[in-house]
Amino acid sequence: MPKEDKKRRMLLFAAGSLLGAVLFFWVFGPSALNPCNDSFCIGGYIEKDIQQHYAGWLFYRQSAQGWPLGIAQGINAPNGVSVSYTDSIPLFAVLFRRFEAILPATFQYFGLFTLLCYALQGGFGALLCSLFAGGCARPLCGAALFAASPVLLERAFRHTSLGAQFLVLAALYYYFRARQENRYAWPGLFLLNILAVGIHPYFLPMTYAVTLAMLLDHILRTRQWRGPVLYLAADLAGTVLLGWSMGLLYGNATSGGQSLYGYFGMNLNALWNPSGVNGVDYSLFLPMQNQVGGNYDGFAYLGLGILLALPAAIWVILPRLRRHLPLCAVCAVLTLFAVSHVVTANGVTLCTLPLPASLIQLFSVFRSGGRLFWPVYYLLMLAAFVGLCRLPGRGLAVCFVLLLQLADLSPAFLQRQQAMRQAQQQDAFPSALQSDFWEIAAGNYAHLFSVQGLQDDALHLALYAAENGMTTNDPFAARCDEKALAAQREDVLEELSAGHLRQDTLYLFEEEGAFLQAVETVQEQAWCGRIHTDGCDWYVIAPGLQQQSFDDSCTRYDNKYPLRMADYTDALWNRGVLDSTKNIICFADSAFARRKLENAEFLCAGDSSYRILQVDDSDPGWLMVTLDMEDATILWDKELTTQ
């Protein structure tokens, strides 16, 4: 390899990385790089997912070290779970955990990681473009196009680990270099395939798809297969080894992805639909389009500049497709997987193709299938760039498209700037844990136990537990062992029914009915009751705090505790009211509800009273009450008493 070529590549990589870093600072500013600034992590940037990422890191840094390396014992306690399933970037978590003794009390690495993603996106973008354009100006314009990728901007700090899209660009770079130099054994590609599993498993099918295309292409051209097969086998072995060491194979994580394949598929309008998550508009010029269900996670807007440049690429691409048949094949497979068997266009589901349930469950390992389109997405961007470089006046054409692209994406850049500034000043997703109960309970318990259901505001609860040195079994991670969790909950319910409380455990219930069934035998040993703030309800059993008084958001369970209708809805019932009659309501069966209704003549809501005509307990688990009134829906969310 001539020294001049190597020097040019190094300079382009450095300059492209600098462009990516400049774009990062322009959009997000320097505050996110402060490791002691976790306000945007706790408050939630754009949406709540970064709270999950940060909570995973907080639990992990408190965990005892063992093997596998990436296990946070405080999550899904006592079994623990890999921080891969909290999207906490396990490679960074494991690295910084080595320095726990010297880290400050508050420490986040998500800003540093995202800066690296932008820098490497620009660096590998420059290298990729340099394979098709001479000099430095055009490759660096191409690097800026890749660094300003709408898909990257959509994920940065929202799904932080998915910002590592430079892995896809690097894989494409090695593919095209392999074609030019007639080789396949790239140490860089070998390494990035392994590193991908330590960042986010979703990158594995992307980088390995490009790798497979490269190896197949080499086999077809040279008729030599042994070397490529050994290369692939060794790479897979290294990937499995790192995944094992990060805890991806730890335990029996069964929940979180079953039968969701298809819901997060890519809409057929994705390439020109500038509608991002939470209504963010990615285009100054093009209107936002409709989409269906979870199509938002298949976001793949190319930008107006790239869309206008694509026709210039057609005459360049078509004659060369036959040279890249393996790459075309893997792109077709990735595109079909991303669109899924639920085919959507704008706001309409065109068809749902029949797939065996077993296949849907298998595909649901990568439940957000729309993301797997990214290698095709970046190939389309590359094709547009290459097409421009074949036009007369190509330098001006590339510059014009870059400026148009940046102008088109300016609303999204400005929105992200504003969102980061707001995240530094106040909570974007304020916690509902505002009652003084949480402050008083902090430090009194070693465990936060979800006895039933996924709790309201689960991510703030996870942060609360982590910040106060508590473990949690609340399944806020992407995967958990459902059978083990169900068995734990059954054991705890049996303990409660026997009157036994774990003094180091704060018990939480999602539904009032389940709480009322469990509380009778332990109410003298704990503060028991309801906490209601900002539309969130928790039903708690807090051992040792029975003498404690709390603010008005807390209602103690005692003889004055009110009745509430069960919030039950199905084909017959609407929030606890039978649709066909409107005068039959239901309560979860419990000793408390039976005491309240026994010998009662009236059900009262405020100053209004309604005669009780019948109490029916023939349906196990429920008490159905017939009232002398026309429409019992007026009792929704009301505190009820009896006379």
- Same domain? 143 vs 270: yes
**In angstroms, rounded to a whole number, what is the distance separating the alpha carbons of residues 322 and 328?**
9
Q: What is the CATH number of the domain that holds 593?
A: 2.40.10
**8 A C-beta contact, residue 633 and residue 641:** no
Question: Does the residue 84 lie in any domain?
Answer: no
- Same domain? 398 vs 272: yes
CB atoms within 10 A of CB 641: 16
pLDDT digits (tens, 9 = 90+) for 12-66: 999 999 999 999 999 999 999 999 999 999 988 888 899 999 999 999 999 998 9
Q: Domain of residue 323: give its range.
A: 3-78+109-422
Q: Distances from the Cα of 15 to the Cαs of 126, 131, 140, 568, 634, in angstroms? A: 8, 16, 7, 60, 66
Per DSSP, what are the bridge partners of residue 345? Answer: 348
- Same domain? 342 vs 461: no
**8 A C-beta contact, residue 458 and residue 476:** yes
Backbone angles phi, psi at 359, to 5 degrees: -70, -40
* pLDDT score of 255: 55
Among 396, 422, 448, the domain boundary falls at 422
Question: Does the residue 564 lie in any domain?
Answer: no
The candidate with the shortest Cα–Cα distance to 517, out of 611, 620, 397, 424, is 620
Per run of 10 residues, the mean pLDDT along the chain (length 643 residues) is 81 98 97 94 87 96 93 91 94 96 96 98 98 95 98 96 98 96 93 97 97 96 94 98 94 61 96 93 97 95 97 81 92 98 97 92 90 98 94 91 98 94 75 92 95 84 94 83 87 95 96 93 96 90 96 94 93 95 95 94 95 95 96 94 93
- Same domain? 295 vs 366: yes
Token representation of residue 559: 């003889």
- Same domain? 62 vs 175: yes
Q: Which residues contact 594 (CB under 8 A, 6 or more apart)?
A: 623
Token representation of residue 216: 């197949």
Question: What single string gives the DSSP state of each residue in 41-105?
Answer: HHH-SSSTHHHHHHHHHHHHHTSPP-SSTTEETTBTTTT-EEGGGGT--HHHHHHHHTTGGGS-S
Question: Does the residue 55 lie in any domain?
Answer: yes
Helix (H, G, I), strand (E, B) or coil at 563: strand
Residue 232, H or E segment: helix 226-246
**In angstroms, rounded to a whole number, what is the distance separating the alpha carbons of residues 134 and 290?**
41
**8 A C-beta contact, residue 16 and residue 118:** no
- Same domain? 206 vs 331: yes
**8 A C-beta contact, residue 329 and residue 435:** no
* pLDDT score of 476: 82
The candidate with the shortest Cα–Cα distance to 141, out of 267, 16, 283, is 16
* pLDDT score of 254: 59
- Same domain? 66 vs 170: yes
The candidate with the shortest Cα–Cα distance to 345, out of 275, 289, 269, 279, is 269
**In angstroms, rounded to a whole number, what is the distance separating the alpha carbons of residues 349 and 110?**
37
Q: Considering its fold, how many domains does the chain have in total?
A: 3
Q: If you count DSSP H runs as helices and E runs as strands, how many of each does the chain have, helices first? A: 21, 17
Per DSSP, what are the bridge partners of residue 555? Answer: 530
pTM for this one? Answer: 0.93
- Same domain? 185 vs 228: yes
**8 A C-beta contact, residue 387 and residue 316:** yes
**8 A C-beta contact, residue 482 and residue 258:** no
* pLDDT score of 423: 85
Pairing verdict, β 505-509 and 536-543: antiparallel
**In angstroms, rounded to a whole number, what is the distance separating the alpha carbons of residues 124 and 172?**
9
- Same domain? 536 vs 601: no
pLDDT digits (tens, 9 = 90+) for 169-227: 999 999 999 999 999 999 999 999 999 999 999 999 999 999 999 999 999 999 999 99
Backbone angles phi, psi at 364, to 5 degrees: -70, -5
Q: Distances from the Cα of 274 to the Cαs of 120, 269, 311, 379, in angstroms? A: 25, 10, 19, 19
**In angstroms, rounded to a whole number, what is the distance separating the alpha carbons of residues 26 and 420?**
11
Among 531, 556, 581, the domain boundary falls at 556
Per DSSP, what are the bridge partners of residue 281? Answer: 275
* pLDDT score of 257: 46
Question: Does the residue 332 lie in any domain?
Answer: yes
Among 556, 585, 606, the domain boundary falls at 556
- Same domain? 398 vs 457: no
* pLDDT score of 474: 83
Question: Does the residue 431 lie in any domain?
Answer: no
**8 A C-beta contact, residue 517 and residue 621:** no
- Same domain? 525 vs 588: no
Question: Does the residue 427 lie in any domain?
Answer: no
CB atoms within 10 A of CB 216: 19
Question: Does the residue 391 lie in any domain?
Answer: yes
**In angstroms, rounded to a whole number, what is the distance separating the alpha carbons of residues 232 and 214?**
11
Question: Does the residue 414 lie in any domain?
Answer: yes
**8 A C-beta contact, residue 519 and residue 527:** no
- Same domain? 306 vs 368: yes
